[in-house]
Amino acid sequence: MRAELASELERLKARGVTPGLAVVLVGDNPASQVYVRMKGRACGEAGLHHETIRLPKQATEAELLAVIDRLNGDPRIHGMLVQLPLPQHIDEHRVLLRVDPGKDVDGFHPSNVGKVSIGDPTGFRPATPYGVQQLLLRSGVDPTGQHAVIVGRSNIVGRPMAALLLQNGPGGNATVTVCHSRTRSIGAITCQADILIVAIGKPQFVTGDMVKPGAVVIDVGVNRVDDPSLKSGYRLVGDVHFEQARRVAAAITPVPGGVGPMTITMLLYNTVQAARQWGDR
């Protein structure tokens, strides 16, 4: 997919346009710092202009909004994202509303949420659900007519994932069930899934007996669990018990290394889309 993106970048650069992405990081959350470094590295490898703006944890909301206003008006920046989570003293909703919808490559602005929900192709699809959809399609898994069960209803993964799978078009036309923290007998529902997508933020929550034989399992979760046998003292696991589920599933994504690289790739795709659309504004 990144090779395909390279040809698109060449076409844009021939018109004098180099897509630009800005990432704003507030504070020193270790996971956020890793994600931001990965995004910057991917932009550099792809040939995108990229900037990372770091603000201290004690930065005020007004200071963050001023940075967003500056980036909204910067013609070199076509896409922008504010790395979440934000410190508690900053209103996340107010911050996300401040980002120009035409530069909102995370797809969190209500304008883009609405566009994605109705299938408007000019809307920015959140990178993780978009990546999951592409992962399915490019692995030969057509959701059409299949029962997709999503575990988790967050605005970042669960809800937009449902919207994408419901749409009438490639990567859509699934029958979708969304489970969450108030769902009763989750295991009885996940066992019905032809495609099981788990994004609940609980390590190894889905066990092998919760997976339908022959199902396709997409594990979006990334969790640290203690492991004294390793030098780091911990290891990364998903929301699915991989060793149990792999014995039952027809296909399953690993953690780390499955959905994560797709998320970064789709962020690049969204930035290129933003640059392409910017000239039409």
Residue 178 and residue 58 share a domain: no
Residue 144 and residue 215 share a domain: yes
So what's the pLDDT on residue 100?
97
Residue 143 and residue 70 share a domain: no
Per-residue pLDDT of the chain (281 residues; tens, 9 = 90+): 999 999 899 999 898 999 999 999 999 887 788 888 888 999 999 999 999 999 999 999 999 999 999 999 999 999 999 998 899 999 999 999 999 999 999 999 999 999 999 999 999 999 999 999 999 999 999 999 999 999 999 999 999 999 999 999 999 999 999 999 999 999 999 999 999 999 999 999 999 999 999 999 999 998 888 889 888 888 889 999 999 999 999 999 999 999 999 999 999 999 999 999 986 65
Residue 145 and residue 55 share a domain: no
Domain boundary among 52, 71, 104: 104
Q: What is the CATH number of the domain that holds 249?
A: 3.40.50.720
Q: Is residue 211 situated within a structural domain?
A: yes
Cα–Cα distance between 167 and 186 in angstroms, integer? 25
Residue 238 and residue 139 share a domain: yes
Q: Is residue 270 situated within a structural domain?
A: no
Q: Is residue 169 situated within a structural domain?
A: yes
Q: Domains in the chain: how many in total?
A: 2
Residue 98 and residue 158 share a domain: no
Residue 132 and residue 49 share a domain: no
At a CB cut-off of 8 Å and minimum separation 6, what does 47 contact? 6, 9, 13, 18
Residue 241 and residue 136 share a domain: yes
- On the CB side of 114, CA atoms within 13 Å amount to 4
Cα–Cα distance between 39 and 128 in angstroms, integer? 13
Task: Give the residue from 199, 124, 204, 207 showing the smallest Cα distance to 164.
Answer: 124
Strand order through the sheet with 175-179: 175-179, 147-151, 195-198, 216-219, 251-252
What is the span of the domain harbouring residue 172? 127-260
Pair 221, 201: CB distance under 8 Å: yes
Q: What is the CATH number of the domain that holds 20?
A: 3.40.50.10860
Pair 242, 254: CB distance under 8 Å: yes
**pTM: predicted TM-score of the whole model, two decimal places:** 0.93
Query: In which residue are the tokens 């994600």 written?
Result: 35
Question: Which amino acids are annotated catalytic?
Answer: 39, 83, 106
Residue 131 and residue 100 share a domain: no
Residue 234 and residue 145 share a domain: yes
So what's the pLDDT on residue 279?
67
Residue 141 and residue 83 share a domain: no
Residue 238 and residue 155 share a domain: yes
Pair 29, 85: CB distance under 8 Å: yes
Burial class from Cβ neighbours inside 10 Å (0-12, 13-18, 19+) for residue 120 reads exposed
Cα–Cα distance between 82 and 71 in angstroms, integer? 11
Q: Is residue 111 situated within a structural domain?
A: no
So what's the pLDDT on residue 231?
87
